[in-house]
């Protein structure tokens, strides 16, 4: 497994402690820090794999829960795995589906053995164990797979959060013992809600099973950003040094920079494509609501210095027209732009780390960026 996966820290920013690294996987090298576009249903909505390559995507994320329900992990296995199924030859990370299962609330029942839940699509009953979660992800054939964990909502008691942490660790051990595929790397997930003692305890426990990466889950679930930053500050100097740290489900531009400044290497989020479908573009000044009337006769690109396909060929006025006419091309062009905005931001952040000035870059970026 060590031959298939290796992580090397190339530079540590003297000003912030942020890192530039290189993660080797069976489907190619990932340079960190990295933003990972989300392709929940084996597709980044509205974007072709060739377009993902053009805009600088190095790795994409798909979701175990959704693909298990539809089309089914056996179907994807029969297709030759997720890479062949979706025509993507770079690395893929699959989330365990834990967040989705635990968001079902009234449709699920949790025991130490696993989780019983009803499909949100059909109402059919399923039972997922840590071993089953590994089997599904093995069938999918992703490069990086996530441990099955128990997520807790904001506002739970310390006792409830502690119980979930203990179950997460027990499930991780079972995932670790069940995972035998040397072409897949299992990332443990740190839980603990917003309790620092539980976060530290969870990190110490799950790190024993970490070989080439570790994830931080249960953040960006509705809490104020300052609460998330406080937890990340607390954990910053406690991670294993020789592996990438993945902050799950976080990806607004401000959080991306703040996360990297706090020692994070990898992040993912549906935000860039979701807001694109609502007619919103990411710019260095913040959100641009393209459907607004102010852009009706604005024949400039979404952002003057952007090198994406949308900005090279189309204007704000045209994209506004597409969005207001409910033409799918509008959402597609905005998605291309928003994803490129974040991959370019990762490139700019990497440059600032190499120049030992990430905190200066962060201050300059956030001074103009309004979210």
At 238-249, the pLDDT tens digits run 999 999 999 999
Alpha helices, DSSP H only, in 217-357? 225-235, 253-261, 271-277, 309-313, 316-324, 328-354
In the block, tokens 């950003």 appear at 225
pLDDT in tens, 147-200: 999 989 899 999 999 999 999 999 999 999 999 999 999 999 999 999 999 999
Residue ranges of the domains in the chain?
33-269, 278-371
Q: Give residue for tokens 């909505």.
A: 45
CA distance 207 to 257: 25
- Find how far residue 288's CA is from the centre of its chain: 23
Sheet holding 266-269, edge to edge: 34-37, 266-269, 245-247, 214-216, 189-190
- For domain 33-269, give the CATH superfamily: Queuine tRNA-ribosyltransferase-like (3.20.20.105)
Best CA proximity match to 344, nearest among 60, 56, 61 = 56
Summarize the confidence of residues 18-37 as an average pLDDT: 98
pLDDT one-digit tens code per residue, 211-224: 999 999 999 998 99
Phi, psi for 117 (deg, rounded to 5): -150, 160
Q: Where are the beta strands (DSSP E) in the chain?
A: 6-12, 19-25, 28-32, 34-37, 60-63, 92-95, 108-110, 115-118, 125-128, 144-146, 185-187, 189-190, 214-216, 245-247, 266-269, 280-283, 286-289
Give yes or no for residue 45 having a pLDDT over 60.
yes
Contacts of 42 (CB under 8 A, 6+ apart): 62, 67, 76, 82, 85, 86
Task: Give pTM, 2 decimals.
Answer: 0.97
Q: Name, in order, each residue with C-beta under 8 angstroms of 43's C-beta and a sequence gap of 6 or more.
A: 86
Grade residue 1 by pLDDT with cuts at 50, 70 and 90: low
CB contact set of 345 (below 8 Å; sequence gap of 6+): 35, 253, 256, 257
In whole angstroms, give the CA distance from residue 35 to residue 256. Answer: 8
Dihedral sign for Cα 73, 56, 358, 360, please.
negative
Active site residues: 95, 268
User: Which residue in 291, 265, 287 sits closest to 368, CA to CA?
Assistant: 287
């Amino acid at each position: 497994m060590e031959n298939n996966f290796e992580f090397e820290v190339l530079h540590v920013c003297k000003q912030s402690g942020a890192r530039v690294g290189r993660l080797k996987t069976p489907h190619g090298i990932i340079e960190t820090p990295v933003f990972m576009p989300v392709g929940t249903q084996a597709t980044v909505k509205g974007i072709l794999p060739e377009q993902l390559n053009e805009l600088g995507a190095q790795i994409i994320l798909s979701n175990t829960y959704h693909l298990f329900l539809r089309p089914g992990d056996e179907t994807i296995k029969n297709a030759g795995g997720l890479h062949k199924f979706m025509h993507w030859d770079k690395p893929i990370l699959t989330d365990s589906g834990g967040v989705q299962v635990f968001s079902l609330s009234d449709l699920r029942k949790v025991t130490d053995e696993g989780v019983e839940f009803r499909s949100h699509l059909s109402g059919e009953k399923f039972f997922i164990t840590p071993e089953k979660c590994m089997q599904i992800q093995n069938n999918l054939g992703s490069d990086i797979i996530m441990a099955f964990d128990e997520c807790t909502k904001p506002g739970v008691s310390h006792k409830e959060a502690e119980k979930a942490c203990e179950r997460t660790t027990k499930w991780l051990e079972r995932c670790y013992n069940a995972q035998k595929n040397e072409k897949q790397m299992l990332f443990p997930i740190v839980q603990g809600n917003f309790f620092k003692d539980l976060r530290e305890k969870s990190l110490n426990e799950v790190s024993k099973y970490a070989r080439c990466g570790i994830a931080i889950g249960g953040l960006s679930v509705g809490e104020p950003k300052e609460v998330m930053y406080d937890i990340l500050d607390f954990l910053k100097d406690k991670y294993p040094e020789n592996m990438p740290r993945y902050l799950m489900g976080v990806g607004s531009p401000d959080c991306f920079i703040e996360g990297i400044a706090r020692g994070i290497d990898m992040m993912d989020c549906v935000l860039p494509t979701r807001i694109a479908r609502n007619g919103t573009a990411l710019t260095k000044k913040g959100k641009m609501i393209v459907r607004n009337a102010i852009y009706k006769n604005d024949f400039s690109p979404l952002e003057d210095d952007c090198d994406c396909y949308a900005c090279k060929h189309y204007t704000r006025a045209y994209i506004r027209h597409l969005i207001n006419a409910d033409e799918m091309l509008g959402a597609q062009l905005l998605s291309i732009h928003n994803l490129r905005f974040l991959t370019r931001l990762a490139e700019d952040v990497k440059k600032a780390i190499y120049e030992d000035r990430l905190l200066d870059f962060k201050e300059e970026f956030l001074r103009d960026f309004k979210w």
